[in-house]
Amino acid sequence: MLRSTVIILWIVCSIQAISLVSLQKQSPFQIDSESITRQDFDIWLSEQKDIAFKNILKNIGGISPSLNTTLVPEGVVIASPSSEHPNYFYQWVRDSALTIRSLIYHLDDSKFDDLEISKTIEAYIANNHKLQRLPNLSGSFDDDYSGLGEPKFHADLTAFNEHWGRPQRDGPGLRASTITSYLNVLEKYGKNPSHKDLSDCKYVYSEIIKPDLLYIVKNWNKSGFDLWEEIDSNHFFTSITSLRAIQDGIILYKRYDNEDDQFFQQLESTYTELKNFIENDSGFQQQHIPYIVECPQLLKEGKRSGLDAATLLGSLHSHSLENKNLQQVYEDIPFDIDDSHIINSFRAMVADMKYRYPVNRFRTGFGVGLGRYPEDIYDGYATSEGNPWFISTASASEILYKIVFKLNSNGDDLVITKSTKEFFSQFIDLQDSIEDVVIQYGSEEYEKVTLNLMEYADSFLAVIKDHVDNSGRMSEQFNKYDGFMQGAEDLTWSYSAVWNCIRWRGKALAIL
Ligand SMILES: *[C@@H]1O[C@H](CO)[C@@H](O)[C@H](O)[C@H]1NC(C)=O
Ligand SMILES: *[C@@H]1O[C@H](CO)[C@@H](O)[C@H](O)[C@H]1NC(C)=O
Ligand SMILES: *[C@@H]1O[C@H](CO)[C@@H](O)[C@H](O)[C@H]1NC(C)=O
Ligand SMILES: CC(=O)N[C@H]1CO[C@H](CO)[C@@H](O)[C@@H]1O
């Protein structure tokens, strides 16, 4: 933890007359000397980006210096090396797909000049061909692809046959979109897969991506467990990431297939129906609620507000600003990062969690640590009280960097409407105008909003800086009272989310 946070803690402890002994409590990973440079934000960012990437690789079989490939074969992404209290030593379809995306971005950034990484990605793809076909408690491959809804497997590529929240229907779409991104990168650099089990791109499409798409076609309107594995219902994250996968499928079909008319029609009608579901029938959008309701059933039952970091993650992972072409491909998918519902989900999360989590109270006016959802009671080991998470905090920050990037790279005017006014009034004086305000691209005001947004985004990364340990390591959560990390150590997804965020900061800065 950063010294200033320690000082704040000191004040809190003094006020509450708590023994200063509590300040001696060490983060489980604390080492003797400070090895990261917290006092200089820019230096910290570049160190932390590097540390995050190295720690992603440490959790992937084959490329990891510390994992035994008998237990964790090449290309297998474990969620965390923690095998007890809690046991996250498994491969989740979702966590793996999202983590591999970071590797794909890195590979593209390197102009496909990192063969160890492409080898790892291809091993991941080949493993998933096996996982798809493993009979499991969600079902099997032959039985209508129902086994593709299985959320997690043992690290050694065998089925996990114990009680769990299953099926989780986001897995097939996330995996299909991740592998699509890899095929796109191969195309871009004129490459072919080199893994012995992946003969060519068309094979990857028809044997691995297509079954996942068929799963979505058959199951998109059924209930399933959410990304937090708790609630069997309809979920925004699942629906929006599945819609992206179907869009990916439509493009891949034209590139590699063109023979299976019936399948193409299924993709097109699923796209239309799922989009209509998301926009109209699901209840994700409701008339008097400015934010996305992640799980409408829970709102209806009076159990939750609907606010959830899953909404921010869903928006981020169903769109792309990697290049103009991809931006266009996903343009028709609703709820991009600059949509008023996403912006208001962000705003409402901040408004809630700023006071919900005591560690945030001293950060008045700036970024705060964000958790999963206000009603959360999972503390990383069992149920007690929810805490801020690295994934949520980094994703919020990434959204802000992407808003800046999208506006400035397109040279768009910033149009502030009634529904985004409250958010943008933090960055520019909007007086009491009731009409839409248009801030012209290139104007002085535009630059001011841009810089203020960047500063605001940075202030969320600064929260992360204050809560990582002295080696830049990250667990799942940080305690809402004392700020020390807890939950699964070295959570792969934490590293991936923070790496993505720092990468987007760089991309936004580069175009300003
Ligand atoms: C890897 O694990 C296997 C199975 O437990 C064991 O037999 C082998 O010795 C281990 N290899 C190394 C290098 O530790
Ligand atoms: C899901 O879609 C199928 C096919 O269109 C339809 O038969 C079924 O009634 C739908 N189920 C729900 C719960 O909407
Ligand atoms: C949602 O409903 C509106 C109003 O009925 C309609 O115009 C729109 O096309 C629908 N969206 C989709 C994706 O069908
Ligand atoms: C429906 C189905 O095929 N279920 C199988 C899931 O996997 C377990 C063990 O791997 C089998 O026992 C089930 O029959």
DSSP assignment of 396-451 equals HHHHHHHHHHHHHHHTPPEEE-TTTHHHHTTTS--TT--S-EEE-TTSHHHHHHHH
Residue 485 DSSP code: E
Residue 313 three-state SS: helix
Residue 488, both tokens: 């699964």
Catalytic residues: 226, 229
Residues in the ligand 1 pocket, defined by CB under 6 Å: 68, 70-71
Where in 331-418 does DSSP place strands (E)?
Answer: 414-416
Span from the CA of 128 to the centroid of ligand 1 (angstroms): 23
Relative to the alpha carbon of 154, which ligand is closest?
4
pLDDT in tens, the chain (512 residues): 333 443 343 333 333 333 222 333 344 334 445 699 999 999 999 999 999 999 999 999 999 999 999 999 999 999 999 999 999 999 999 999 999 999 999 999 999 999 999 999 999 999 999 999 999 999 999 989 999 999 999 999 999 999 999 999 999 999 999 999 999 999 999 999 999 999 999 999 999 999 999 999 999 999 999 999 999 999 999 999 999 999 999 999 999 998 999 999 999 999 999 999 999 999 999 999 999 999 999 999 999 999 999 999 999 999 999 999 999 999 999 999 999 999 999 999 999 999 999 999 877 668 999 999 999 999 999 999 999 999 999 999 999 999 999 999 999 999 999 999 999 999 999 887 788 999 999 999 999 999 999 999 999 999 999 999 999 999 999 999 999 999 999 999 999 999 999 999 999 999 99
Backbone angles phi and psi of 390, in degrees to 5: -65, -40
User: Which residues are bridge partners to 414 per DSSP?
Assistant: 439
Does residue 161 have its Cβ closer than 6 Å to ligand 4? yes
Q: Residue 152: enclosing H or E segment and its boundaries?
A: strand 152-154
Most ligand 4 atoms within 8 A of CB, residue of 134, 136, 143, 146 to mutate: 136
Does residue 430 have its Cβ closer than 6 Å to ligand 4? no
Long-range contacts of the stretch 439-447 (C-beta < 8 A, 24+): 439/413, 439/414, 439/415, 440/413, 441/407, 441/408, 441/411, 441/412, 441/413, 441/414, 442/411, 446/413, 446/414
Closest CA to 179 of 202, 162, 150: 202
Residue 69, both tokens: 């490939």
Span from the CA of 228 to the centroid of ligand 4 (angstroms): 24
Span from the CA of 219 to the centroid of ligand 2 (angstroms): 9
Residue 268, both tokens: 């097109």
Task: Note whether 55 and 473 are within 8 A (CB).
Answer: yes
Q: How many CB atoms lie within 10 A of CB 223?
A: 16
Span from the CA of 107 to the centroid of ligand 1 (angstroms): 30
**Nearest-atom index, ligand 1, CA of 69:** 1
Residue 205 three-state SS: helix
Residue 119 three-state SS: helix
Closest CA to 177 of 216, 138, 229, 235: 216
Relative to the alpha carbon of 138, which ligand is closest?
4
Residue 191 three-state SS: coil
The phi-psi region of residue 431 (left if phi > 0; otherwise alpha if psi is between -120 and 50; otherwise beta) is left
Relative to the alpha carbon of 143, which ligand is closest?
4
Does residue 140 have its Cβ closer than 6 Å to ligand 4? yes
